[in-house]
Structures are given as C-alpha cells and as structure tokens.
Structure 1
Amino acid sequence: MQFVRTFKPIHLEFLLKIQEVGQLQVAAHLLNMTQPAASRMLKDIEERCGTTLFKRTPKGMEPTPSGEVFIKHARIVLAGLDSLEKEIVALATGMAGEVRVGSVTGPAIGVLIPAMEILRERAPNISVTIDVAPSVDLVRGLDEGKFDFVMARVPPTHDSRDLHVHPARNEQVRLLVNEVHPLLSHSNVTLEELSHYPWIMQERGSPIREAVETSFYAAGLPPPERVVNSSSLLIALALLKGTDMIAPLSEEVTGLMTSEGLGAKLRVINVAVPMTVSPYFIIRDRSRELTPAATLFYEQLLAEI
C-alpha cells in the first residue's frame, strides 16, 4: 500500500473539497482548476487507490466507504501539516521555543518575572526556565552553555572580554524584620542602633553583605558581630519569625515579602543611611548567538530595565 506516499497535499485538499461541496465542478472552481483537470485528478487518485472514492447521486457526489476512510485521514494529515507550519514559523520568529535564564535574587523578582509575564502574553508557547544562584555559579553556567543569558555581576575570575555585558541596575538593600521588632517604632534608625541586634546574612563576600559591612566601615563602626550566615531565603524567614533578628535583602525581595498578598508579618526598618549594592548586568556569551525565542525575551528584558 505504498501508493499513499505518492499523494500530495493538493490531492488531499481536492478530495476534502469534493466531499464539502458535493460537486466536482464547484470543487474545481474553488481550487482554481478546470473541470477536465479535476476529473483527471480524481481518476488518477482512484486508480492509485484501486477503488472508487465517490459515487454520483441525485444529490451530488457522495463518498464511498473507502472515500470516507480516505477523507478522515486526509483531514488528520492536513491538520498535522498546518500544525507543523505554525510551529516552524513560531520557532523561526521566536514565538515558540525554550529560554533558559539565570539571575541573582533581586533582579529575578523585580525585573525577570515582569518581563516574562509580558513575554508570555505575546508568545504563550515559549517555555521559560529561571534559575536563581550567586553570580559566580551563574557565569560559570553561562560558560557551560546552561543559560542563554544571565543577570549577575561579573566575577573577578572571569575575563569580561569573553562576555557581552549590558548595564542593568543597582540594587538597594532593605532591612527586613518581624512586625513587632523594637526598631520599627524609630525613624531614621542609625547604624549604631542596628549593631545591637542579631543579623541573618549571606556568606562573606556576597554583594548584599559587602554593602552592609561597607556602610558600617564608612561610619567608623565595626560590622554586626552576632551573625547567622545563610544564603537561604527560607532560613532567613524562619529565623525572623518571633525574634529580633535583622535580614538585609534586596528592595525587590523585601517588597515581595511585605506585600499583603503573602500574608507575611514582616516589615522594613527605616534606616538613616542608604545601602547600595554594586550594579548587576545582563550577560551573554559573545561566542554564541541567541535563539529567536531567547532574543525575544532578551529584548523584552532590555525594555523592562
């Protein structure tokens, strides 16, 4: 039964049109064919199949049992071809495909997610994967091809000449505490007041911790001494509950943690001295071209910042 492999989409469309209108002449006209050409095409198809596909009745041309089977499968084949065309076009234009992005925590919440929401409205068939990690891990993952691009800081171990680095934003540090923390009743809290309380901070060398310690050093004060070291946001939230600990986090994260929708009983201290983290960037590997889908997301991200 290899004859089925010789048929072209026009043959299938032709038979579906005959079944739809019931008249060979009308089907030929709708497909911009002459009636003799249509008659020859139908005869050729039936000869290949070895059976009659349509019978002529007073009501017009009606499919035979073999014709019904042929038409059923013709619909499936043409629908599959239509789907194939749409998927190929979507992939070529970036309206479908997979995008893998890495980010440090603050930009993931404040920039990536809003950009992704807009992107999914424009191109709902794009699959997006977002990993959150320290900058060193993100840039290493970029080197290994795990990400299309990342939002991070360039580690001193990497040569920025191998990377395409686009400026993004600075991060502002906010101090998150339990809703009954004593310092919430104070305005313009000083660093000296903050030093009397225990802290939960990321490991030494992390950008947010460096911003906190730099603020203390600039004021001529030693940095906080009672510190629990952890980069886990869940650990920080657990320790804040029912204690007087202070957790320095990015403005985007504290905004999320204090939003009413989460029902969190957390607040931000009004600090007199601003704490600013070194800027992060949108980083790509110069040696690799972005896919159409990744390009679409990248451009949406640039618009967001």
Structure 2
Amino acid sequence: MTALPSSTDQLLNRLRMRQVALMLAIDEFRTLHAAAQHLGMTQPAASKMLHELEEALGEPLFTRVGRGLALNMAGQAVLTTFRGLRNSMASLKRELHQLSLGSSGKLLIGAIDVATPTHLSAAMLALKEAYPLLSIELHVGTSDRLIELLRDGQLDIVIGRMPEPTSRANQDCVFTPIGEEAVSVIAAYDHPLAQAPRKKRLEFQALLDYPWILQLRGSPLREIIEQEFRSRHTAMPPGLVETSSFLTITDLVAHSRMIAVIPESMASRFARHNLLRILPYTFTHSLTSWGSLVHRDRHINTVMRRFLDLMHGTPD
C-alpha cells in the first residue's frame, strides 16, 4: 500500500522557485510592481503567483496598506525561510563548481581574534590534513559584522559571540558555545605599573594615571571596559586611542606608556615572550562565551560538519 504524502511533501509539490524569487524580490525592491519588473513579469501575473503561494501555505502573507502590500508575521516567517533557501542554493552552487574543478570545495569561515591563536588554527590544520584539496577562506572581524556576512550567505560558519542570543531577531542562527575568555590589562614590559610586586593587586585608580587604548564602540570588549568604569562611577579617560586591531593595540602598548585590555589568551602569549606585561588587576566583568554560529536554514555539508566537530573537540 502506498503511503499518503505528508503535508510537507504536498507543500513541496505545490511550491515553485519562481514564487521564492518573487518574495525575495519584493523584499529587495519594496513594491510588487518593482519586483515584477525585475523578474520580467506583469504585475497581474505576480499578484496571481502570490495568491497561489498563499493558497499553498494556507496563510495570508500580506496586509494591504493603501495601494501597497506589507508583510504580516506569516509573511516575515516565509521570507526568512526563503532567504535561507537562497543562501543554501548559493552554497550548493559553490560546492558543485569546486567539485567540477576536481577540488574538495571551499569553506568560508569568519572568526573573532580570540579564536584564531588557539582552537581555530588547530582545527584548520586538522581539516586540511583530512581534505588536502580543500580551499579555506578566513575572515577575521567583529562578531556583529561576521554574523551579517553569515546571514548574507558570504560565510559558511562563524566562530564568535552571539549578541543577545535570546532575541527573536537572532533565532535564524544556531549558536553552540566553545569557551569563555577572561581579560587582562596589558602594558609595556618596562611600564611603571609593571614594576610593582607581581602579587600586589593594583587599584583601579592607578590605571587612570595613564592613557588608554580601547576597541571601537559596540564590541564586547569595549562594553565590559565601560561597565567597569560605570560600576566605579568613573568617567572614561580623555584622549583615547580607539581601534579594532589587536595588532595595533599591542604594538602601541609595547612602545608607549599606554595601557589596554585584551583577551587573556592573547596577553599570555605576549607575556611569555617578555614582549608585554600583564598588570595585576582583575576586571569585575568578563566576556560572554564564544562559539560556533551557523545559519539555521542552511545545509551543513560534510566538510562543515567535520570542521565543527574539530572546533568542539568531538572525537572521530
């Protein structure tokens, strides 16, 4: 006896890629008329196609606003899924193209600085050992920017922090924590504050006697520094140098009397080689967990799964 098709199978049989393209075009061009023109359709044909899509889904997707249409909550949910489908198709196209060239494909990774000297390097080396012909493209940046690239389909995986993981707007990404990171105050090896007995904890006030280098506003590290100042009812120091480059931060600190705050794992590497000193001050606040981020609606291929397993320490 032949099994009856499920409701999902029935929906897949009724959906057309042209309907997906129309919804995405409406989102991009904001009006049905402009979207229809972009796709080379008449507006009546586009209206009919949307009506057929609503019938297939069993839900109205728009509310009428004047002479135009506005997505309702069901329409927003459909659009989010269709965006994920577009990104999956882009990923599939890249993979098929690479396979046609005799390659194992290409993996597009985004990562924050804290992950690069530890887990990420080891995972990339192990992945290359398993897939010698695999091409890897690594983008290093801030979590918010990398997540934008992930949503746009320009990255396969992000190793970073998820801002407001419980926010409804962020439910399109799946975050799996990997580790936590303490922070350290750093100074030049011969900095006056570094000459005090190492076991003696510095007072916060002592840090205010020197110029500061901070990351740009909006970064998690900048936020915990500002929280530290707020909790002590102290204004941010004047004459700040602000940059998102850890390389610039450490170089400026090494050649001046400036101080800065960077992740402990990075600070420890510089301190081991006597390039910088970690000052004996403990921050009240700490960075949120960092981990892997993938798009909820995107296909995870074999290479991506292997990379995620390596990052999370999953055995073969």
Q: Which TM-score bucket, shorter chain as reference?
A: 0.5 to 0.7
Structure 1 counterpart of 2:304, from 285, 294, 300: 294
1:224 shift after superposition: 3.3
1:274 shift after superposition: 4.8
Where 2:109 maps in the other structure, the secondary structure is strand
Alignment map for 1:220-259 (pairs within 5 Å):
220-259=233-272
2:276 is the counterpart of 1:266: yes
- The residue aligned with 2:225 is 212
Cα distance in 1, alignment partners of residues 139 and 270 from structure 2: 19
1:283 shift after superposition: 0.8
Cα distance in 2, alignment partners of residues 201 and 162 from structure 1: 31
1:231 shift after superposition: 1.1
- The residue aligned with 1:106 is 114
Query: Matched residues, percent identical?
Result: 26
What is the identity, as a one-letter code, of the residue corresponding to 1:154?
M
Cα distance in 2, alignment partners of residues 158 and 97 from structure 1: 33
Structure 2 counterpart of 1:163, from 148, 173, 177: 173
| Count of equivalent residues | 211
Where 2:182 maps in the other structure, the secondary structure is strand
Deviates more, 1:202-211 or 1:269-278: 269-278
- The residue aligned with 1:150 is 158
Cα distance in 2, alignment partners of residues 205 and 168 from structure 1: 22
1:250 shift after superposition: 1.1
- The residue aligned with 1:194 is 207
Contact 1:191/1:216 (8 A) holds in 2: no
Structure 2 counterpart of 1:183, from 190, 193, 208: 193
- The residue aligned with 2:74 is none
What is the identity, as a one-letter code, of the residue corresponding to 2:190?
V
Structure 1 residues 255 and 96, CA gap change in structure 2 (3 angstroms): farther
Alignment map for 1:112-127 (pairs within 5 Å):
112-127=120-135
TM-score by length of 2: 0.60
Q: Deviations over 1:172-228 (max 9, x none)?
A: 111221110111123311211111111111112211111122123223433433421
Cα distance in 2, alignment partners of residues 171 and 237 from structure 1: 18
Cα distance in 2, alignment partners of residues 132 and 140 from structure 1: 13
Q: Deviations over 1:70-93 (max 9, x none)?
A: xxxxxxxxxxxxxxxxxx9xx7xx
What is the identity, as a one-letter code, of the residue corresponding to 2:267?
T
Deviates more, 1:127-136 or 1:148-157: 148-157
Where 2:310 maps in the other structure, the secondary structure is helix
1:158 shift after superposition: 7.4
- Structure 1 or 2, whichever has the larger Rg, is 1
TM-score by length of 1: 0.62
Where 2:312 maps in the other structure, the secondary structure is helix
Cα distance in 2, alignment partners of residues 281 and 159 from structure 1: 19
1:127 shift after superposition: 2.4
Name the Cα RMSD after superposition.
2.7
What is the identity, as a one-letter code, of the residue corresponding to 2:266?
V
- The residue aligned with 2:295 is 285
1:259 shift after superposition: 4.2
What is the identity, as a one-letter code, of the residue corresponding to 2:292?
I
1:249 shift after superposition: 0.9
Where 2:313 maps in the other structure, the secondary structure is helix
Contact 1:197/1:226 (8 A) holds in 2: no
Q: Which segments of 5 or more consecutive residues in structure 2 lack a partner in the other structure?
A: 1-95
- The residue aligned with 1:172 is 182
Structure 1 residues 242 and 162, CA gap change in structure 2 (3 angstroms): closer
